[in-house]
Every structure is written in C-alpha cells, then in structure tokens.
Amino acid sequence: MNYNQTLEFLFQSLPAFETQGATGYKPGLERISAFCRHIGNPQRNFFTIHVAGTNGKGSVAHIIASVLQQAGYRTGLFTSPHLIDFRERIRVDGEMIPKQKVVNFVDKHHDKMVELELSFFEMTAAMAFDYFAQSDVEVAVIETGLGGRLDATNIIVPILSVITNIGLEHTALLGDTLPKIAREKAGIIKKSIPVIIGEADPRYNEVFEQIAAANKSRVIYAEKEFRCEEHHTEGDYQHFRLRRTRDNREFDAELDLKGEYQVRNIVTASAAVDFLHEETPLTISRRAYLEGLRNAAANTSLMGRWQKLGDAPLTICDTGHNAHGIAWVAEQLRSTPHRELYCVIGFVRDKDLAHILPLLPREAHYLFTQARSERALPA
C-alpha cells in the first residue's frame, strides 16, 4: 500500500471516534495490551507523562513537550485529533512521523490489527509507542483520547499524571455529572505516581483525592504551586509574571500560544515541569523552561488555539468544542476590538448545542458549515 491507501484503510476499516462518534469508541485495554505485547511493548522503552482533562490537555501537552525539547531531551508527543495531516498526532522533537513509517507499520501489522479488531485510536497509539521506541525517544508526552480509565493510552506507567480540568463533555460515554466524568479521567492515576490537577473545583476534588489515596498517589494542585500575577499580550507573545509558591521565586515568561485561556494552561504546565525537575530523573533548567514556553507552538507546530490566520480582516481559528471551552473563546471574541463579527462554525452530532449556542456573541453574523464527516451535524 502507498500512503494514501494506508490512510484509507485506517479511516475506513478501523472504527474511528472522530468520524463515527460513539460507535467508533471501543473502551477497554485488552485489545491495545494484546497488540502492544505482540509488538514488544515499546511503550516501556522511555519515560512518559500522561495528560488528561476536558479542556487544555492539548496545549499543556505541547507546552511540556516544548520545554523537554529545550532541555535537550529527545521528546515524543502523541496528541489527537489532527487538523490537516494524520501525522500531526505523532511527533518526535516537533517533526511529524514520516509517511513511510506509517505505511511500514500498517503493512507489517495489518493482519494482527484486523484480528484483534483494533479501533483507529488504538492503532494510532500503538504506532506512536512503536515509532518513539524506534526513534530513541527519551521521554514522551502522551495525551489521552477520550476519558482516561479505559482510554487506549492508559497502558503506560508514567512518571507523572496530569489532569487539566473537568467539564461536561461526551456525557453519553463518560457520565452526566462532573464527579462521574472526574472518575473516568482519574483512571489515569497509577499506584504511587503523583498526579497534578490543573484546576481545582469543590465539585470534583474529592473524587481525585479518593482515587489517589487508594493508589497511594500524591495529589498536587497546580494553583497552589504557581500563580499568575500579571498577564498581557504584546505582539506575537503573551507575557506572564508567574510566582512559585514554595520559594516565592518570580518568573517573567512569554508564550507564543494565543488565547486568554492559556493563563490556566501555563500554570498547569509550570507545575508539571517543576515537578519533573525536582522529583524525577529529568533535569530542566530555568532557561529551558522559559525558552520552552516562549517557543511552545514553534517547537511543536501546535495549531488551532486562537490561531491568527490573517490580518485584513483579522481572522482567528479556534478548536474549542464544548461549553467549557467555548465560554473562553466567546469571552475573548467579545473583548477583541471589531466593527463586524462573523463566525464560521460547525459541529459534530453529539455536541450539546443547547448549552453551547447561548454562550456565543449575539451580535455576530453566523455562517454554519458542515464538515466532510459522517459525524458532522448538518448545517
């Protein structure tokens, strides 16, 4: 098979949540565990950081990976979904997996993947683990796909788990209350492995505390470790004054990711980086931390987070996809100076529009679109 034929097999033969919705979601770790055993358990060959959460997990994963790259580590990054190219999901030091590696992996393991009835996401996660091991990756940042407890990535044993926040999403699959969703996300907490909680909330903190206690794992609340004292945007960078609680140390940081919501993500990522330096075999200098923040998007090629596509007119792209995330986007839209506001927007069928649409600015002109996907909601 060539690359295009390989992608066709992946998207059409393996059930994919991105295109099919709930019918493409295959929870459970039996299939991915069996397949990774078959290929030699490559996920055991490098350190991992596991990142889950309703919103911000992609940004936090990219920021941590950027800092690790700046610190000189060969760094793997596994995220989803992709925006343009399937290979965006699997990167080493910011570079996408080569097309030929995708083809070779599928050619080699096609029969076993079909035999085990792997989902698209399970196959992609296994491909990432295998490519990272082949590429002599020293540390990989692994983002969950959906949930945590039964997510295919949950076969890893990380040196740190990170849960950014909890909001209502995928309620048919993860539960219809914040505590139920928190319980699913908390499934990434492993025995004796600390977990960082990005945004504390009395509605779900107890869930994390209970599961961590059962696993003898320490809970670290990011907002108790770092706080943002000043924040403004200037040119292509957001500027932050961060203070580390334990020693009152101040950091003047820049971030090349846009969006007001990065105020939350930079605190979560900073707490994670600080833990990695202080309490794991990894060494991350102050310089690597600050340079990694400043070049987070550049180092990792992150797209779709309040990304400016043009100036005349000002054109912004954002992948906010649930009420929790859209609320931040809508607030920033309102605060961005404009004479006329046009929103080009589309959804997949399972999104809760009753909660999302009222958050959007009422004075805007709306152009509703429909993606080329079985899962798209008709315009």
Split at pLDDT 50, 70, 90, the class of 95 is: very high
Residue 161 · residue 188 · CB < 8 Å: yes
Check whether residue 296 and residue 315 sit in a common domain: no
Q: What is the pTM of this model?
A: 0.89
List the single range of 127-141, 248-262, 327-341 with lowest mean pLDDT.
327-341
pLDDT in tens, 164-176: 998 866 555 565 6
Q: Could you tell me the CATH number of the domain that includes residue 333? A: 3.90.190.20
pLDDT for 110 beyond 80? yes
pLDDT score of 251 more than 80: yes
Question: Are 289 and 352 within one domain?
Answer: no
pLDDT above 90 for 62: yes
- Residues ≥6 apart with Cβ < 8 Å to 182: 166, 204, 207, 208
The pLDDT of residue 15: 62
Q: Does residue 269 carry a pLDDT above 90?
A: yes
In-domain check, residue 203: yes
Tokens of 330: 């809508």
Asked which of 300, 323, 341 is the last residue of a domain, the reply is 300
In a domain, 47, yes or no: yes
> Which residue range is the domain that position 314 belongs to?
307-368
User: Which pLDDT score, from 0 to 100, does residue 175 have?
Assistant: 58
Task: Tally Cβ neighbours within 10 Å of residue 326.
Answer: 22
Please report which confidence band the pLDDT of residue 375 belongs to, taking 50, 70 and 90 as the band edges.
confident
- Whether 218 is in a domain gets the answer yes
Burial class (CB in 10 A: 0-12, 13-18, 19+), 379: exposed
**pLDDT at residue 17, as a whole number:** 45
Residue with tokens 């993860």: 174
Q: pLDDT for 332-353, tens place per residue? A: 888 888 999 999 999 988 788 8
pLDDT (tens digit per residue) in 180-204: 889 989 999 999 999 999 999 999 9
What residue type is 292 in one-letter code?
G
Is 378 inside any structural domain?
no
- Asked if residue 312 and residue 223 are part of one domain, the reply reads no
Domain holding 118: CATH number?
Answer: 3.40.1190.10
Distance of CA 156 to CAs 149, 200, 306, Å? Answer: 12, 25, 31
Number of folded domains in the chain?
2
Answer yes or no: do 230 and 358 share one domain: no
Answer yes or no: are the C-beta atoms of 184 and 219 closer than 8 Å. Answer: no
pLDDT of 64 higher than 60: yes
Domain boundary among 300, 315, 348: 300
Q: Using alpha carbons only, give the angle 9, 82, 154 rounded to the nearest 5 degrees.
A: 85
Q: Mean per-residue pLDDT for 280-306?
A: 94
The answer to whether residues 256 and 297 touch, using CB atoms and an 8 Å cutoff, is yes
* Strand partners for 241: 230, 252
Q: Are residues 321 and 273 part of one domain?
A: no
- Which DSSP letter does residue 352 get? -
Averaged over 255-284, what is the pLDDT?
95
Residues 198 and 345 in one domain: no
Evaluate whether residue 379 is within a structural domain. Answer: no
Residues 137, 47 share a domain: yes
Whether 139 and 213 map to the same domain: the answer is yes
Judge whether 373 lies within some domain.
Answer: no
Cβ atoms of 182 and 46 within 8 Å: the answer is: no
296: three-class secondary structure by DSSP: helix
Segment among 17-21, 36-40, 273-277, 357-361 with least mean pLDDT? 17-21
Residue 123 lies in a domain: yes
Q: What percent of the chain has pLDDT over 90?
A: 70
Asked if residue 374 belongs to a domain, the reply is no
Q: Answer yes or no: do 198 and 321 share one domain.
A: no
User: Taking a C-beta distance cutoff of 8 angstroms, is the pair 319, 346 a contact?
Assistant: no
CA 34, CA 117: separation in Å to the nearest integer? 11
- Same domain (yes/no): 15, 131: yes
Structural domain ending residue among the three candidates 262, 277, 300: 300
Same domain (yes/no): 334, 288: no
Structure tokens at 134: 């082949």
- Strand-pairing partners, residue 238, are 233, 255
* Residues 235-244: tens digit of each pLDDT: 889 999 999 9
Measured CA to CA in angstroms, residue 94 lies from 51, 88, 159, 272, 349 at distances of 18, 9, 21, 20, 32
Count the helix, strand and coil residues of the chain and give each as a percent rounded to the nearest 5.
45, 20, 35
> Does 225 lie in the same domain as 77?
yes
